[in-house]
């Protein structure tokens, strides 16, 4: 069983792209590449140069880091850099409050902690997501309830959320996968009517917008990740944004050992649980520096993604992920599309990915069926879950977690490109399309290989 929900494969692909920089001078293959022999069968690579590397840094990062170093105020309880970043990010998103935390996972975990989620509670999550969305629910001994995927958008099928709600449902946690907004109108309508709070997993969706307003600001709160691969990056980090002052306070307290504010002998916070999820001033300084490029980079990704979609829409068997009508901006953390082998002489997706990588185009099959992964199904045998929920409920849980559309998408159709590839030029996008056309023309020969 193939399951690449850990990030290893992704990182490998990225570093392969980076490694390409060392090999020779950039050279664009001829426009007649479509007729040439596939690289996988010994032909010339369509795209020998590398896509832009990630991360990007310069003077602002160097100065920011050195300033923190010399200040001797390295932690958020010591200095003022984190608060400066938090105001800047809140302002950028049009949110009232922002709290920096140690990772995207910590952001989600802190929000669940602030809502006092625990044993017996259910949290609704999409099945097509990074495993962290699931993990934060399970860390609280709550029951994660998967909702199937809208195969056209790769997002949670909002039309299936209501059927997953029970008397135990405490949170609906949609994910804006790939950085494109889930169907926010539909999700908020259900949540408001059922009076269930929405926590947005916006870990991939920095600056994405729904009807002109940033995602992460629609629900009670939103969580962002600043992990190395993400569009805003400080190696490891995350943030919570919310317009609810009282929720912001509870989150602060939870992430600071249940304490209220800066360092003090006794400084009571709110709530009854807490831990340490604080981010350092060093990371705050990198984030502030990275933010000087975020808007420009996002603009470039969007321009390239729009252009690439035009090119790919003309290739039979290639279907870019649909953006919902309310989408006014995608963050394009991933460029996602569907592959239909019927238009490629039956060439399997695995072989297509291999052939495309050989042409110099990094790509991935994306998430697997996490609901069927042994890491997840094993929960039905976890001794604590058996104690809390009982054998019958855990067996029913396994039966509830069927997601047939996601099975098809994740095993046969889904393909991803990565955000750094969209930071290149239009010519780079032309080369992606040329490589796919080349594989299509030679699909029969590749299929036999």
Ligand X SMILES: *Cc1c(COP(=O)(O)O)cnc(C)c1O
> Residue 80 in contact with residue 100, Cβ under 8 Å?
no
E strands, 52-167, where? Answer: 97-101, 122-126, 143-147
Instruction: Kindly indicate which of the ranges 18-26, 60-68, 77-85, 100-108 contains the residues binding ligand X, using the contact rule CB under 6 A.
Output: 100-108
Q: Which of 219, 238, 366, 368 binds ligand X (CB under 6 A)?
A: 238
CB of 150 to ligand X, least distance (A): 16
Q: Which residue, 126 or 320, is less far from ligand X as judged by CB?
A: 126
CB of 64 to ligand X, least distance (A): 20
Q: Which of 110, 183, 217, 225 binds ligand X (CB under 6 A)?
A: 225
- Determine the distance from the C-alpha atom of residue 335 to the mean position of all C-alpha atoms in its chain, rounded to a whole number: 11
For residue 296, the SS3 value is helix
Going by C-beta distance under 8 Å and a sequence separation of 6 or more, which residues neighbour residue 186?
Answer: 158, 159, 161
- 133 is a site residue for ligand X (CB under 6 A): yes
CB of 333 to ligand X, least distance (A): 7
Q: Which residue, 38 or 366, is less far from ligand X as judged by CB?
A: 366
- 406 is a site residue for ligand X (CB under 6 A): no
Q: Which residue, 205 or 358, is less far from ligand X as judged by CB?
A: 205
Instruction: Kindly indicate which of the ranges 82-90, 109-117, 124-132, 371-379 contains the residues binding ligand X, using the contact rule CB under 6 A.
Output: 124-132
Please work out, in degrees rounded to the nearest 5, the angle formed at the alpha carbon of residue 68 by the alpha carbons of 81 and 97.
10
- 201 is a site residue for ligand X (CB under 6 A): yes
CA distance 100 to 297: 22
Q: What's the burial of 188, exposed, middle or buried (CB within 10 Å: 0-12/13-18/19+)? A: middle
DSSP string, 384-446: HHHHHHHHHHHHHHHHHT--HHHHHIIIIIEEEEEGGGGGS-HHHHHHHHHHHHHHHHTHHHH
Nearest to 101 by CA among 229, 225, 274, 233: 225
> 55: cis peptide before it, omega within 30°?
yes
CB of 115 to ligand X, least distance (A): 17
Give the residue at shortest CB distance from ligand X. Answer: 104
Q: Which of 48, 104, 269, 362 binds ligand X (CB under 6 A)?
A: 104
* H or E stretch covering 240: strand 238-242
- 200 is a site residue for ligand X (CB under 6 A): no
Q: Which of 203, 234, 334, 361 binds ligand X (CB under 6 A)?
A: 203
DSSP string, 320-352: EPPPPTTEEE---SEEEEEE-GGGGTT--HHHH
CB of 319 to ligand X, least distance (A): 22
Site for ligand X in 268-287 (CB under 6 A): none
Total of chain residues touching ligand X, rule CB under 6 A: 14
Structure tokens, 227: 């992990």
Site for ligand X in 66-95 (CB under 6 A): none
Instruction: Kindly indicate which of the ranges 197-205, 291-299, 314-322, 376-384 contains the residues binding ligand X, using the contact rule CB under 6 A.
Output: 197-205
> Residue 253 in contact with residue 113, Cβ under 8 Å?
no
- 379 is a site residue for ligand X (CB under 6 A): no
Q: Which residue, 40 or 415, is less far from ligand X as judged by CB?
A: 415
**Stretch 316-345: interaction string toward ligand X, x if CB under 6 A:** ------------------------------
Q: Which residue, 64 or 238, is less far from ligand X as judged by CB?
A: 238
Q: Which residues of 357-372 are buried (b: 16+ CB within 10 A; e: fewer)?
A: bbbbbbbbbbbbbbbb
CB of 130 to ligand X, least distance (A): 4
Q: Which of 13, 46, 105, 298 binds ligand X (CB under 6 A)?
A: 105
CB of 230 to ligand X, least distance (A): 6
CA distance 367 to 157: 16
Q: Which of 47, 54, 130, 254 binds ligand X (CB under 6 A)?
A: 130
Q: Which residues here bind ligand X, judged by CB under 6 A?
A: 103-105, 129-130, 132-133, 175, 201, 203-204, 225, 227, 238
């Amino acid at each position: 069983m193939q399951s690449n929900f850990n990030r290893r494969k992704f990182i490998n692909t990225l570093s392969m792209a980076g490694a390409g920089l060392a090999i020779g001078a950039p050279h664009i293959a001829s426009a007649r590449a479509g007729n040439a022999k596939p690289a996988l069968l010994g032909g010339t690579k369509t795209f020998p140069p590398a896509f832009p590397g990630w991360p990007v840094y310069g003077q602002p990062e160097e100065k920011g880091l050195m300033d923190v170093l010399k200040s001797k105020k390295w932690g958020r309880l010591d200095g003022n850099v984190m608060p400066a970043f938090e105001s800047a990010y809140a302002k950028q998103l049009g949110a009232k409050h922002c709290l920096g935390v140690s990772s995207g996972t910590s952001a989600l975990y802190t929000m669940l902690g602030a809502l006092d989620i625990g044993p017996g509670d259910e949290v609704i999550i999409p099945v097509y997501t990074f495993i962290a969305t699931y993990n934060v629910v399970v860390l609280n001994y709550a029951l994660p309830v998967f909702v199937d995927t809208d195969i056209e958008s790769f997002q949670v099928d909002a039309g299936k959320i209501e059927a997953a709600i029970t008397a135990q449902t405490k949170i609906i946690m949609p994910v804006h996968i790939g950085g494109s907004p889930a169907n926010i109108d539909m999700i908020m309508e259900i949540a408001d009517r059922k009076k269930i709070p929405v926590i947005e997993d916006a870990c991939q969706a920095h600056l994405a917008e729904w009807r002109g307003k940033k995602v992460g600001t629609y629900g009670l709160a939103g969580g962002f990740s600043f992990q190395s691969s993400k569009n805003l990056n400080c190696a490891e980090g995350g943030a919570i944004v919310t317009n609810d002052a009282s929720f912001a306070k509870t989150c602060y307290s939870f992430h600071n050992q249940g304490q209220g504010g800066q360092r003090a002998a006794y400084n009571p916070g709110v709530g009854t649980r807490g831990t340490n999820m604080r981010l350092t001033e060093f990371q705050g300084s990198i984030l502030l520096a990275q933010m000087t490029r975020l808007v420009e980079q996002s603009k470039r990704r969007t321009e390239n993604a729009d252009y690439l979609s035009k090119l790919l829409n003309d290739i039979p068997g290639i279907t870019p992920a649909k953006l919902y009508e309310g989408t006014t901006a995608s963050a394009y953390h991933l460029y996602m599309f569907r592959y239909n082998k019927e238009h490629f002489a039956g060439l399997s997706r695995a072989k297509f990915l291999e052939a495309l990588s050989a042409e110099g185009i990094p790509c991935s099959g994306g998430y697997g069926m996490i609901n069927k992964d042994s890491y997840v199904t094993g929960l039905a045998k976890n001794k604590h879950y058996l104690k809390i929920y009982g054998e019958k409920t855990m067996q029913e849980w396994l039966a509830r977690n069927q997601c047939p559309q996601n099975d098809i998408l994740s095993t046969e159709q889904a393909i991803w490109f990565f955000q750094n590839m969209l930071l290149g030029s239009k010519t780079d996008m032309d080369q992606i399309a040329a490589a796919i056309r080349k594989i299509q023309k030679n699909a029969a020969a590749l299929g036999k290989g």
